[in-house]
């Protein structure tokens, strides 16, 4: 019951920006967009999340379109260690709805090459 669509795989050259798209056309007004990544045989790592404004942290930038139906995760200078599966997840936040689980789809497998 994943509510996002991501390409199954992408390639990126080391040192270049990696732009990972995510489609969430049915997103609701109270749903956040979360990004996680999973390096082989490790647990997922939280990257960033946002509601409607663009967000940036030390790992990445998140660009959300004005209509909120899609977003892009940007790794500005990809390294070999960024090779991983990247998951885009939408999750509602409202104190009235109570606990809402994270729904991990199959993500985008990003391969960063020298």
Partner 1 sequence: DGGITQSPKYLFRKEGQNVTLSCEQNLNHDAMYWYRQDPGQGLRLIYYSQIVNDFQKGDIAEGYSVSREKKESFPLTVTSAQKNPTAFYLCASSISWDQPQHFGDGTRLSIL
The DSSP output letter for 89 is: E
Total residues binding partner 1 (CB under 8 A): 22
Asked whether position 45 contacts partner 1 by CB under 8 A, the answer is yes
Judged by CB under 8 A, the residue of 19, 44, 52, 59 near partner 1 is 44
Phi and psi, residue 80, nearest 5°: -60, -30
Asked whether position 52 contacts partner 1 by CB under 8 A, the answer is no
CA distance 57 to 28: 24
Among 23-31, 54-62, 76-84, 104-112, which window interacts with partner 1 (CB under 8 A)?
Answer: 104-112
3-class secondary structure, 80:
helix
Contact residues toward partner 1 (CB under 8 A) are 2, 34, 41-46, 49, 87, 93, 95, 98-107
């Amino acid at each position: 019951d994943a509510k996002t669509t991501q390409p199954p795989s992408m390639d990126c050259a080391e040192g270049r920006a990696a732009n990972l798209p995510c489609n969430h056309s049915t997103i609701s007004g109270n749903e956040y967009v979360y990004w996680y990544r999973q390096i082989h045989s490790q647990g997922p790592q939280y990257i960033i999340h946002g509601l409607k404004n663009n967000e940036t942290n030390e790992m990445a930038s998140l660009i959300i379109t004005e209509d909120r139906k899609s977003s892009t995760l940007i790794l500005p200078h990809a390294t070999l260690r960024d090779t991983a599966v990247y998951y885009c997840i939408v999750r509602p936040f409202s104190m009235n709805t109570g606990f809402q689980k994270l729904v991990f789809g199959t993500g985008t497998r990003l391969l960063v090459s020298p």
